[in-house]
């Protein structure tokens, strides 16, 4: 009977030691998993930022041409010396009216 008790006690001691070791390893393992997840998220963010940097570099190279600079200056309302600036308003309404007139013409032609 005594050897059975000592075997049971030994098992409980082993279980207790393993439980205590698991308790001691829980925090570092949880920290490792969290850090790994954060690292993966940051690496994905770095990849996105590198792709954006590449797109911006291409855009910068294209915008450095004289044609692109001229186009952007005109968009901002700048004109060359001696030129006169005209502001045209109502283009969207004019286009709608033109489409409507073409549609009416096409409809009338089909009736006859």
pTM over 0.85: no
Domain that residue 77 falls in? 2-111
Low-confidence residues of the chain, pLDDT below 70? Answer: 1, 109-112
Residue 51 has a pLDDT of 97
Overall number of domains in the chain: 1
Residue position matching structure tokens 């186009």: 71
Residue 3 has a pLDDT of 79
Token couple for 1: 């009977």
Residue 111 has a pLDDT of 54
Which residues neighbour 69 within 8 Å (Cβ) at sequence distance 6 or greater? 63
- Give me the half-sphere count of Cα atoms (radius 13 Å) on the Cβ side of residue 73: 12
């Amino acid at each position: 009977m005594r050897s059975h008790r000592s075997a049971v006690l030994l098992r409980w001691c082993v279980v207790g030691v393993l439980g205590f070791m698991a308790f001691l390893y829980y925090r570092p393992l949880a920290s490792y998993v969290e850090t790994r997840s954060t690292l993966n998220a940051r690496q994905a963010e770095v990849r996105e930022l590198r792709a954006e940097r590449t797109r911006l570099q291409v855009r910068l190279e294209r915008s450095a041409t004289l044609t692109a600079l001229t186009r952007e200056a005109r968009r901002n309302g700048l004109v060359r010396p001696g030129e006169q600036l005209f502001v045209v308003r109502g283009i969207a309404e004019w286009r709608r009216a033109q489409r409507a007139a073409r549609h009416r013409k096409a409809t009338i032609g089909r009736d006859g």
